[in-house]
Chains A and B, each alone.
Chain A
Amino acid sequence: ELKVEQNPLFLSMQEGKNYTIYCNYSTTSDRLYWYRQDPGKSLESLFVLLSNGAVKQEGRLMASLDTKARLSTLHITAAVHDLSATYFCAPPRGSNYQLIWGAGTKLIIKP
């Protein structure tokens, strides 16, 4: 069974702190996608990681991919309230690139 496990599932933190979200997956994919979802809204693409060792940064967020370990991380630096959302990692499966999703990490950042 294909699985995506995110850790933690829920994270409450103070503004200004750093933290890392971990994504373990069981597929043999060479790539992985990170999405953000605000309550009641759709999914917004954050990062597309296309190879082993890929690292991408956008503002206070940085994502990395280790395909050998089947592990991706999303690091938050000096968190701000606007980053409060649910974050999903999703590796694709098969030649159709359908995405396999975990339960997401709900992040709450308190002022």
Chain B
Amino acid sequence: DTGVSQDPRHKITKRGQNVTFRCDPISEHNRLYWYRQTLGQGPEFLTYFQNEAQLEKSRLLSDRFSAERPKGSFSTLEIQRTEQGDSAMYLCASSPGTAYSYEQYFGPGTRLTVT
């Protein structure tokens, strides 16, 4: 069990560019969450997958954001036409569906800076 991994760890991009982040959950965790955290604030929920199905999306997730989890394994989060307000830490978490605790395990995050 190597934990949740995210790639890249840091991304600097110019406004208007598209970016894609990847999250590899803990093996056999069927629940996967994306959160966003800006400096000095708590995380905010973005979207949730159970296996390959995207079951919930926050209103924060504008049309420029899209997430996938093909085959129920890794997940990607794409932001199109980035804006400076998208600068944040993007956190991925996974959780085992069979454990009563539903505890979420977080990855190291991807820090996005839009210039």
Contacts and interface: CB of A to CB of B under 8 A. Distances in A.
Interface of A: 4, 31, 33, 35, 41-45, 48, 50, 88, 90, 92, 94, 96-104
Contacts of B35: 99
B74 interface: no
Contact of B109 (A42, A50, A96): A42
Nearest to A104: B42
B14 to A, nearest CB: 23
Interface in B98-115: 100-109
Contacts of B106: 35, 42-45
Contacts of A45: 103-106
A44 B56 CA distance: 24
A48 to B, nearest CB: 5
Contact of A97 (B43, B95, B109): B95
Nearest to A35: B106
Nearest to B89: A42
B41 interface: yes
B109 A98 contact: no
B55 to A, nearest CB: 6
Given A43-B43, A90-B42, A94-B56, 9 more contacts: A42-B91, A43-B93, A48-B101, A50-B100, A88-B42, A96-B48, A97-B95, A99-B45, A104-B42
Contacts of A97: 31, 95, 102, 104
Contact of A102 (B42, B48, B50, B100): B42
Nearest to A94: B56
A50 B101 contact: yes
27 contacts: A33-B104, A41-B108, A42-B106, A42-B108, A43-B93, A44-B106, A45-B103, A45-B105, A45-B106, A48-B101, A48-B103, A50-B100, A50-B101, A88-B42, A90-B42, A94-B56, A96-B48, A96-B50, A96-B55, A96-B56, A97-B95, A98-B33, A98-B45, A98-B48, A99-B45, A101-B42, A101-B44
